[in-house]
Structure 1
Amino acid sequence: MRSRDAALDGIRAFAALGVWLLHVGSNTGVMYREGMFPWMMSRLGIAVPIFFLLSGLLLYRPWARAVIEDTPRPRPLRYLWRRVLRVMPVYWLVTGLALWAWSSFDWTGWAKWMLLLQNFFPGDPVPDGLYQMWTLPIEMSFYVLLPVLAWALHRWARGGNRPVRLLAGIAVLPAISVATVIAARELAQPQLALLLPYHLVFFACGMAMAVLSVWIGHSRVIDSLAPQLLVLAALLYALLSTGLAGPRTLTLPTLSQSLWRISLETAVAVLVVAPFALASHPGSLRDRVLGNPVCAYLGRISYSFFLWHAPVITLQLKIMGAQPFQGDFASVAVVSFVVTMLLSVGSYHLVEVSALKLSRHRSAPVPPPAAPAPLPAAPAP
């Protein structure tokens, strides 16, 4: 279990680095140049579906185990409390600093952003340095919905083959995503892309993977095919990096392009994560690369890295006086990486770890009172 978690942390680390590189490329204009490399850089947003899939996998797994193995189910209030402490403290720190520095919001604007409500007000301006935060309201919406989904799936799976029924129930969620994509394009409602239903397919794939990881454990088939799966992921990523999946700019894609994009992103995310979630092999090259201590540590601080990188890039470009899309790629990449890493290490150990300790302290079960010591035996007469 430890090696598998380390490799998944490594995936999270590379996903966070992908988001950072995407924003360095977009802010310096490199992403919009001609050639295959800029196109492939423009699709590094694949990191977001990978993040969503990992959330579905890791958070739903205890509920899947409860259904399949009859273990105790997680307590919803304890689970939600841990999620709040995991996400919000460092988010408040980074967002509060950016709002103070670069926004002119009144208290209502501050409240929207500090409570992760910004996606529900798509007409409001996005402050500088916070353009990456659109993913967090979607994550939090899933966190809140998951206990309800888990309860419904638990009831549905009772009787019959439980793992199969769980997978059948989870299969409804991708259909919701497809329907939302169609509605967003056909009804000209692009703001639907900022809401959870649009992205449910990624979380659902993670939930299905959680069921499989409990049901079948280590899959020898996936283990033997892991190199081919990762190569296929790379090939599909190359296909994703074409006009088939829509433009590189903020121009809205067509319905066909949107469906191609969400399908290819889902396939790439599943193919990347499955060899580690369903066929962890500590001795394999793939696990040694992603599960080594450096990658695992970068994965642990990846949330702070994700939060800090955009404000750091924004501040650097403002100090440089760079025009939009005209900054120097190399200098922005090097400086923003170093500064973001330093801030991430600090906020991880000072904020994230402290909050996690608090959540463990608050959620730790109270030990039963010790039995009274037996009275000493009466001396023999």
Structure 2
Amino acid sequence: MRSRDAALDGIRAFAALGVWLLHVGSNTGVMYREGMYAWMMSRLGIAVPVFFVLSGLLLYRPWARAVLEGGPRPRPLGYLWRRVLRVMPAYWLVTGLALWAWSPFDWTGWAKWMLLAQNYFPDDPPPDGLYQMWTLPVEMSFYVLLPVLAWALHRWARAGSGGGRPLRLLAGIAVLPVVSVATVVVARVLGLPQLALWLPYHLVFFACGMAMAVLSVWLGHSRVIDALAPQLLVLALLLYAVLSTGWAGPRTLELPTLSQSLLRVSLEAAVAVLVVAPFALAARPDSLRHRVVGNPVTAYLGRISYSFFLWHAPVITLQLKLTGAQPFAGDFTSVAVVSLVVTTLLSVGTHHLIELPALRLSAHRSAPAPPPAAPAPAPVAAAP
């Protein structure tokens, strides 16, 4: 099995912790106070675009390699099977428990949530403890669409000369952010906020990851990105500071204006790219940035980050219910400490007892049988 990229796992860990801290801050009311730190906490939702960029990078890279290096393309059915086994078993466990504990739904409501269709029924309020799950239907929609996108990009790139194929791929991918901008405009002009829960609204983030996948195959290790990595990370922090102002919209559930929405999407895409690019396009394990972000602790937290993402909201919800805390008035420190410890322990168990067995099953089921008198195929790499 191919070794994982410790630095990208570390980024995933920091993103998961950002989502957790955002929800601790919102549930205890700290996020809605005045001051710079409250505003910066309110924008920790930037973690979601980071997750989307990583998905575009890691999942499209085998297809990009097939176009640029002439290797075999992933088999769509095998790829989709791995995605289902990567996402659904742990999701079913956590969602089923939360629905059983706190949901008023009948079987139709259960079916919507268990099939990741909840985003398409905006009139159904999310049950307690599942407010973070809106991102998973977006992710799954991208998983389903990716083989079609990859096929279209493959045909488009192959229509050109060998030397121009990377540029044709990038040009084809550049259509996706246009779809996002159009969706943002439609959502705000026509008053359709539910579009923010659909894939087209977020395609810009996946497209950035796909473009990085092309560049990582085409250019390999970029000396320019390597040399500029510290400056890129500082620029990401500065843009995050701009994102943490009223220019990018309110902190509450009040809808932003069209200009605020466009600025926010643009800044989120820029910050996510600037954070991921130094590690995706200039991987150098001996560098300080890789040693810090990809240290053994953060790398392991990155491996369990999906379970951490699933569990943290139900844990926070249960803790607040048990302590009888009023909405937006819980004690930040106690909620943070208890929820972090409990969520981490649950995530370790879910990762090793559910996620890893499912990944082994997906690798076993999707591995092609070797032809007679031919060497055995290489094991399938672990899903990102």
> What is the TM-score of this pair, normalised by structure 2?
0.95
Match for residue 194 of structure 1 among 178, 197, 216: 197
Question: 5+ residue gaps in structure 2?
Answer: 375-384
Partner deviation per Cα, 1:17-36 (whole Å, 9 max, x = no partner): 00000000000000000000
- Are 2:141 and 1:141 aligned? yes
The CA deviation at 1:291 is: 1.1
Partner deviation per Cα, 1:335-368 (whole Å, 9 max, x = no partner): 0000000000000000000100100110122233
Question: 5+ residue gaps in structure 1?
Answer: 372-381
Give the equivalent residue in structure 1 for 2:12.
12
> Aligned runs of 1:179-218 on 2, under 5 Å?
179-218=182-221
- Are 2:339 and 1:333 aligned? no
> Aligned runs of 1:49-198 on 2, under 5 Å?
49-158=49-158, 159-160=160-161, 161-198=164-201
Partner deviation per Cα, 1:90-113 (whole Å, 9 max, x = no partner): 000000000000001110000000
Give the equivalent residue in structure 1 for 2:24.
24
Consecutive aligned runs of 4 or more in structure 1 exceeding 4 Å deviation? 1-4
The CA deviation at 1:4 is: 7.5
For residue 224 of structure 1, what is the amino acid of its counterpart?
A: A
Give the equivalent residue in structure 1 for 2:292.
289
Distance 2:116 2:255 in 1: 25
The CA deviation at 1:282 is: 1.1
Give the equivalent residue in structure 1 for 2:382.
none
Match for residue 244 of structure 2 among 241, 245, 248: 241
Distance 1:208 1:313 in 2: 36
Distance 1:119 1:150 in 2: 25
Give the equivalent residue in structure 2 for 1:308.
311
CA contact (8 A) 1:4 1:276 kept: no
For residue 284 of structure 2, what is the amino acid of its counterpart?
A: H
The CA deviation at 1:39 is: 0.1
3-state SS of 1:323 partner: coil
Give the equivalent residue in structure 2 for 1:379.
none
Distance 1:152 1:299 in 2: 32
Distance 1:94 1:222 in 2: 40
Give the equivalent residue in structure 2 for 1:377.
none
CA distance 1:111–1:8, shift in 2 (3 Å): same
- Are 2:272 and 1:272 aligned? no
For residue 271 of structure 2, what is the amino acid of its counterpart?
A: V
Give the equivalent residue in structure 1 for 2:324.
321
For residue 113 of structure 1, what is the amino acid of its counterpart?
A: W
Count residues in correspondence: 371
Partner deviation per Cα, 1:94-140 (whole Å, 9 max, x = no partner): 00000000001110000000000000001101100000000000000
For residue 89 of structure 1, what is the amino acid of its counterpart?
A: P
CA distance 1:4–1:267, shift in 2 (3 Å): farther
- Are 2:260 and 1:257 aligned? yes
3-state SS of 1:71 partner: coil
Distance 1:282 1:359 in 2: 29
Give the equivalent residue in structure 2 for 1:219.
222
- Are 2:357 and 1:361 aligned? no
Distance 2:361 2:273 in 1: 33
CA contact (8 A) 1:55 1:206 kept: yes
For residue 257 of structure 2, what is the amino acid of its counterpart?
A: T
The CA deviation at 1:42 is: 0.2
CA distance 1:4–1:367, shift in 2 (3 Å): closer
Distance 1:181 1:104 in 2: 32
The CA deviation at 1:281 is: 1.2
CA contact (8 A) 1:4 1:280 kept: no
For residue 24 of structure 1, what is the amino acid of its counterpart?
A: V
CA contact (8 A) 1:9 1:297 kept: yes
Partner deviation per Cα, 1:319-345 (whole Å, 9 max, x = no partner): 000000000000000000000000000
Distance 1:4 1:301 in 2: 13
Distance 1:309 1:42 in 2: 17
Match for residue 230 of structure 1 among 218, 224, 233: 233
For residue 8 of structure 1, what is the amino acid of its counterpart?
A: L
Distance 1:175 1:319 in 2: 46
The CA deviation at 1:370 is: 5.5
Distance 2:61 2:54 in 1: 11
> What is the TM-score of this pair, normalised by structure 1?
0.96
For residue 78 of structure 1, what is the amino acid of its counterpart?
A: G
Distance 1:47 1:111 in 2: 28
Distance 2:4 2:220 in 1: 12
